Amino acid sequence: MSATLNNLSTLDGFREISKQQINEFQKKGHVLIKSVINKKEVGEYRNVIANATDKYNTEKRKIEDRDTYGKAFLQIMNLWCSDERVRRFVLSKRMAKIAADLLNVKNVRIYHDQALFKEPGGGPTPWHQDQYYWPLDTNNTVTMWMPLVDINTEMGMLTFASGSHKKGCVFNNEISDESQIEFEQYIKNENLEVSRSEEMDAGDATFHYGFTIHNAPGNHSKKMREVMTIIYIADGARITVPQHKWQVNDHKTWLMELPVGELAASELNPLIL
């Protein structure tokens, strides 16, 4: 039976994180936090998000007929605007408070959410930096990446180049075969440590800065890698002049074409805490 809004946990109870976790995040650019939501809460929200992902997914091609980006995952954005039950998850104060604490800011806004479901046989996600796409004047941005099922390295575990967030945007390149090659060489040249978890339980989450270089291998299992992500930006961030077509698109899609120099605070960027 489908969960109703009244039956869903609010996810608003704050979860304290340690100074050590904050330091690790700020030094490495990423951190794993266990049990951000508990098993009961995962049980409530997994089907809600999976059903919404299936409903709004427009990718109907076979995997072999897609390009590298298309093979990497099924990607559905801003589900919170389409489903009131997903909205409760995305606008959760618990996850937002963790994001704000990691960034050492008082409050955060939503940039957008993304369901990233990597199908069995799905291809790798190339090395990239999320914030390459965002016309924002702050580096205080963070992506939460939460599996809704237990996952291991066979399924496409998120992988980070530690410390890579410190130099901002490294290449003028969107996620692609080219970004994989360029970032791989950059990581080698800079002698950056590459790390990933061996496994994550449903409800665990990684948090990484918008400029942290990361990728994910393909899904070599027979199970769907179900992941929900939320991108947070520090309250007070302002819109900058878009530098390329992808930022033009983000300015239009997620910031509702608010004027350059204005606060990144459109109706699609609600304040959470």
Provide the percentage of residues in the chain whose pLDDT is more than 70: 93
- Let me know if residue 174 belongs to a domain: yes
d(CA 210, CA 140): 8
- How many domains are there within the chain? 1
Residue 266 forms part of a structural domain: no
269 within some domain: no
**For the segment 156-211, what is each residue's pLDDT rounded down to a tens digit?**
999 999 999 999 999 988 888 889 999 999 999 999 999 999 999 999 999 999 99
In a domain, 7, yes or no: no
Look up the pTM and report it.
Answer: 0.93
Copy the structure tokens of residue 113: 């959410």
Q: For residues 49 and 83, what is the distance between their CA atoms, to the nearest angstrom?
A: 9
Q: What is d(CA 40, CA 37) in angstroms, rounded to the nearest whole number?
A: 8
Domain annotation covers residue 5: no
Residues 10-35 have pLDDT tens digits of 999 888 999 999 999 999 999 999 99
Amino acid at site 261: G
Region of poorest pLDDT, from 59-68, 186-195, 217-226: 59-68
| 152 falls within a domain | yes
- Residue 127, C-beta contacts closer than 8 angstroms, at least 6 positions apart: 161, 179, 180, 182, 183, 184, 187, 213, 214, 215
Least confident range from 168-177, 215-224, 245-254: namely: 168-177
Residue type for 168, please?
G
Residue 8 lies in a domain: no
Provide the domain limits for residue 103.
20-253
Taking alpha carbons only, the member of 4, 145, 179, 149 closest to residue 75 is 145
Q: What pLDDT score was predicted for residue 56?
A: 87
The enclosing domain of 151 has a CATH number of 2.60.120.620
Please indicate, yes or no, if residue 28 is contained in any of the structural domains: yes
